[in-house]
């Protein structure tokens, strides 16, 4: 029986996705109708007393939207070590600092707009490379030999930079039909597992990688396919939070502190939090997602949606304390 690759293409940003479409990916309709709001509360608006299926609020938990002091200090120390490097990764006048994106179709669409806003082609020591790729969701990145990593290498070369010059990454990922992995928290734990693999692989491939900023998905209440609708787009934020919390708890597999042994991951921090409950404005900044901000499938961002994320990324890097000194808009 022919697999419905056209359906996968809606999510993956390509007409024929280079993936196996298993039986769990076959449904072509959503059980719920597209909606302008879900009633879920953005993590940035939740307090430590609020609960979503047992989880409290705040990007970092406990109602906090800023990293705990120890994590902030570690990130600051790593940020201070970012400097122009030559092709072999040695400090050098005329070297480069590379910011790389890792992710799926939505990620490359949004990051491409950010690159335009940031003036990525102006030259100088700071170089931005879009490594995110249509057709490559989280599971497609989770081995060292996976094809997306080879494509990233090609893009780095095309930009005149090397793997040792990559020092910062922005990661935004999801799973295809995330609900097939079980009800919350099961599917979110699966995404966390895949994100953990990605950050460790990134560190192994980019030895001078120091900081990884992570974001979860934009609003998906308008989705017209079951590829990644609500509540999965919302619940994916907990995957990011749990991953960062594991590093905070001292996971050896995610260690970023040289004083604690072998470094296996960059310092993990939240990047811009992109989810808002449709037309319900976020309290933290007023963000809304109108249907016009999504493409016809309700999953990918439209031009206005890409603009929103691009502007949020630009604002984030301009204001993020650990980006001062290396980010040059």
Structural domains in the chain, CATH included, are 84-323 (3.40.50.1110)
pLDDT at residue 121 in the model: 56
pTM: 0.91
Q: What confidence tier does 26 reach under pLDDT thresholds 50, 70, 90?
A: very low
CA-CA distance, 125 to 134, in Å (whole number)? 28
Q: What confidence tier does 5 reach under pLDDT thresholds 50, 70, 90?
A: very low
Q: What confidence tier does 10 reach under pLDDT thresholds 50, 70, 90?
A: very low
User: Stretch 139-166: mean pLDDT, rounded?
Assistant: 98
Res 194 pLDDT > 60:
yes
Residue 177: asked if its preceding bond is cis (omega within 30°), the reply is: no
Q: What confidence tier does 29 reach under pLDDT thresholds 50, 70, 90?
A: low
How far apart, in Å, are the Cα atoms of 298 and each of 33, 50, 218, 222, 280? 11, 29, 11, 5, 17
pLDDT at residue 120 in the model: 66
> Which pair of structure tokens corresponds to residue 124?
């100088």
User: Stretch 281-300: mean pLDDT, rounded?
Assistant: 97
Residues forming a β-bridge with 98: 127, 166
Q: Check residue 35 and report its DSSP letter.
A: -
Residues forming a β-bridge with 215: 172
Handedness of CA 49, 245, 212, 135 (dihedral sign): negative
Res 9 pLDDT > 70:
no
User: Stretch 177-184: mean pLDDT, rounded?
Assistant: 94
Res 71 pLDDT > 70:
yes
Res 95 pLDDT > 90:
yes
> Which pair of structure tokens corresponds to residue 240?
């990011």
The beta strands (E) that lie in the chain are given as 97-103, 126-130, 166-172, 211-215, 267-270
Q: State the burial class of residue 33 (Cβ atoms within 10 Å of its Cβ: 0-12, 13-18, 19+).
A: exposed
Q: What percent of the chain has pLDDT over 90?
A: 86
pLDDT at residue 32 in the model: 72
**Strands laid side by side in the 267-270 sheet:** 126-130, 97-103, 166-172, 211-215, 267-270
pLDDT, the chain, mean = 91
User: Stretch 248-255: mean pLDDT, rounded?
Assistant: 97
């Amino acid at each position: 029986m022919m697999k419905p690759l056209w359906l996968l293409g809606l999510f993956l940003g390509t007409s024929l996705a280079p993936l196996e479409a298993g039986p769990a990916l076959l449904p072509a309709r959503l059980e719920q109708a597209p909606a302008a709001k879900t009633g879920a509360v953005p993590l940035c608006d939740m307090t430590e007393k609020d609960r979503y299926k047992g989880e409290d609020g705040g990007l970092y938990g406990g109602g906090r939207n800023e990293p705990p002091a120890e994590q902030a200090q570690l990130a600051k120390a790593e940020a201070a070590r970012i400097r122009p490097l030559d092709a072999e990764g040695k400090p050098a006048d005329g070297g480069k600092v590379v910011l790389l994106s890792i992710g799926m179709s939505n990620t490359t669409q949004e990051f491409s707009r950010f690159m335009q806003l940031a003036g990525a082609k102006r030259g100088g020591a700071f170089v931005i490379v879009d490594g995110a790729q249509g057709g490559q969701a989280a599971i497609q990145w989770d081995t060292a030999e996976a094809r997306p990593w080879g494509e990233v290498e090609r893009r780095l070369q095309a930009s005149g930079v090397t793997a040792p010059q990559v020092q910062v990454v922005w990661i935004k990922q999801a799973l295809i039909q995330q609900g097939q992995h079980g009800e919350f928290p099961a599917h979110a734990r699966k995404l966390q597992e895949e994100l953990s693999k990605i950050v460790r692989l990134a560190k192994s491939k980019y030895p001078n990688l120091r900081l990884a900023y992570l974001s979860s998905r934009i609003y998906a209440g308008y989705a017209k396919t079951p590829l990644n609708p609500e509540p999965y787009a919302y619940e994916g934020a907990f995957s990011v939070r749990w991953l960062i919390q594991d590093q905070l708890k001292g996971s050896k597999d995610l260690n970023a502190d040289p004083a604690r042994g072998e470094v296996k991951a960059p310092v993990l921090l939240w990047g811009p939090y992109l989810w808002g409950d449709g037309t319900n404005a976020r309290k933290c900044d007023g963000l809304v997602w109108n249907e016009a901000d999504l493409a016809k499938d309700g999953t990918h961002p439209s031009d206005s949606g890409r603009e929103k994320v691009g502007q949020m990324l630009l604002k984030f890097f301009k204001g993020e304390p650990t980006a001062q000194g290396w980010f040059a808009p």
